[in-house]
Amino acid sequence: MKHIFQLNSKEDREVSTIIGCARNLKHQLFRLDFIQLISVLCLISFGISFIYSAGQQVGGAMTTAWEKQIIWALIGFAVWLILSYSNYNLAALVSPVLYVFTIILLILIFFIGIKVYGARRWLDIGPIRVQPSEFAKIATLLLLSYIASFDWFKVNKISHIFYLFSLMVIPFLLVLKEPDLGSSLTFIGIFGVILFCARISWKWILIVLISLSIFIPSIYPFLHDYQKERILVFLDPERDPMNQGWTSRQTLLSVGSGGVAGKGLLNGTQNMLGFLPKSVSNSDLIFSVIAEESGFIGAISMILMYMILIFSMIRTAFIAKDKFGCYFAAGSAVLFFEHFFINIGMNIRLMPITGIPLPLISYGGSFMITAMICLGIMQSIYMRSSNSEF
């Protein structure tokens, strides 16, 4: 009898342990930011669908691009899950190492980088081709947020502003040199929002804005001829309608031809007939494919998902329990908004054509992994906030 009671007691303890684990899992699950998670799932699904559509119409190697995108998305989710349940302060601690590592990669591009369409932006690491500029964005954001969060950092002290600016300008110039004007400009947005969140005085905001208004145009003489031509064509669309102006004309026609409900999946004639450049119809110009095939309804639904995602990031910035979490969340929101705004802007001729992906939708592994790293750290900040309510 004593043996039986001991056995029952042992079984009870095992059952209690299982129940305790289940309750803990449930508690951890409900701490997630579901607004972020649902919007991310919707955007990735949206992207895979239209990468598939663009690939089937173009043919060749692009027909299997959607399968590779699924693999990148799964890897991204694995990274997201690990980071979500890790302490985000660990990312802050390793940010100096990550920053130096990405700077080394950006320098290596000029020696062993792969040249595609006149630009050196990629490195072949074994069987994988990576774009270091995408990883440099997250590394720079982490380091700037980390430094600005220290008590010794005084945002209104000119030497401290210059120190932060120096750390930003190194990857900015290296990425600009590749050349990749679109990606290089995102570093300026990250730098600006961190200063703003650190409560820089309006005097310095005015000085920074005036400096940028002088600094950015001063880049023009150092741009490549094709980059200068893109800007001139943007200002005067009829300048070269059959060459440099061709892509911007066709993207606008593609977006407009979708109408309210679109032509349907796999029925985008602008892409199918080759009016959109086949090499980038599933990446930089995927918004044109989406707008043509799903129409205004599909395009506005996608934009709404981005707005929800960015809202969740801004909310996380407000509820973050420390400066680093606040600065990183705000910087992430700006980074995603810059990509979203510039990509759609160039597809509807509001901005010059530049190679910048649509987050979570455009084909490519480097920015997919970068975006999921960013979102994983954001999720960690949200889950460890003192109050997970907005």
Q: How many domains does the chain have?
A: 2
Residue 326 reports pLDDT greater than 80: yes
Residue 72 within any structural domain of the chain: yes
Pair 23, 108 in one domain:
no
Across the range 57-69, mean pLDDT stands at 83
Residues sharing a CB contact under 8 Å with residue 263, sequence separation 6 or more, in sequence order:
257, 269, 292, 293, 295
CA–CA gap between residue 374 and residue 357 (Å, rounded)? 15
Residue 388 within any structural domain of the chain: no
Pair 157, 304 in one domain:
yes
Residue 355 within any structural domain of the chain: yes
| 296-to-211, 248, 269 alpha-carbon distances in Å | 39, 19, 16
What pLDDT is recorded for position 332?
Answer: 96
Residue 367 within any structural domain of the chain: yes
Residue 1 reports pLDDT greater than 80: no
What pLDDT is recorded for position 390?
Answer: 42
Across the range 80-98, mean pLDDT stands at 95
Q: Tell me the pLDDT tens digit for each residue of 2-50.
A: 555 454 565 555 555 555 444 544 445 657 899 999 999 999 999 999 9
Residue 232 reports pLDDT greater than 50: yes
Domain encompassing residue 24: 1-30
Of residues 282 and 336, more confidence is placed in 336
Predicted confidence band of residue 360 (pLDDT cuts 50, 70, 90): very high
Pair 114, 5 in one domain:
no
CA–CA gap between residue 55 and residue 68 (Å, rounded)? 12
Across the range 284-295, mean pLDDT stands at 91
Residue 290 reports pLDDT greater than 60: yes
Report yes or no: 56 and 371 within 8 Å, Cβ to Cβ: no
Report yes or no: 185 and 339 within 8 Å, Cβ to Cβ: no
| Reported pTM | 0.87
Predicted confidence band of residue 359 (pLDDT cuts 50, 70, 90): very high
Alpha helices for the chain (secondary structure H): 2-30, 34-58, 65-84, 89-112, 132-148, 158-177, 181-197, 202-218, 225-235, 246-257, 269-272, 286-319, 323-347, 365-383
What secondary structure does DSSP assign to 147-177, as a single string? Answer: HHTSTT--TTSHHHHHHHHHHHHHHHHHHHH
Pair 22, 42 in one domain:
no
Across the range 266-277, mean pLDDT stands at 78
Give the helix/strand (H/E) hosting 115.
Answer: strand 114-116
Q: Tell me the pLDDT tens digit for each residue of 144-177.
A: 999 999 999 999 998 999 999 999 999 999 998 8
What secondary structure does DSSP assign to 340-353, as a single string? Answer: HHHHHHHHTTSS--
Pair 39, 14 in one domain:
no
Residue 299 within any structural domain of the chain: yes
Pair 167, 272 in one domain:
yes
Q: What percent of the chain has pLDDT over 70?
A: 87
Pair 371, 277 in one domain:
yes
Residue 390 within any structural domain of the chain: no
β-bridge mates for residue 123, sequence order: 130
What pLDDT is recorded for position 212?
Answer: 73
CA–CA gap between residue 97 and residue 10 (Å, rounded)? 49
Across the range 213-217, mean pLDDT stands at 76
* Mean pLDDT, the chain, integer: 85
Pair 220, 186 in one domain:
yes
Pair 307, 258 in one domain:
yes
Residue 229 reports pLDDT greater than 80: no
Residue 225 within any structural domain of the chain: yes
Pair 62, 200 in one domain:
yes
* Residue that has been written with the tokens 């994988």 in this structure: 128
Report yes or no: 227 and 182 within 8 Å, Cβ to Cβ: no
CA–CA gap between residue 144 and residue 98 (Å, rounded)? 12
What pLDDT is recorded for position 292?
Answer: 92
Pair 248, 136 in one domain:
yes
Residue 389 within any structural domain of the chain: no
Pair 82, 209 in one domain:
yes
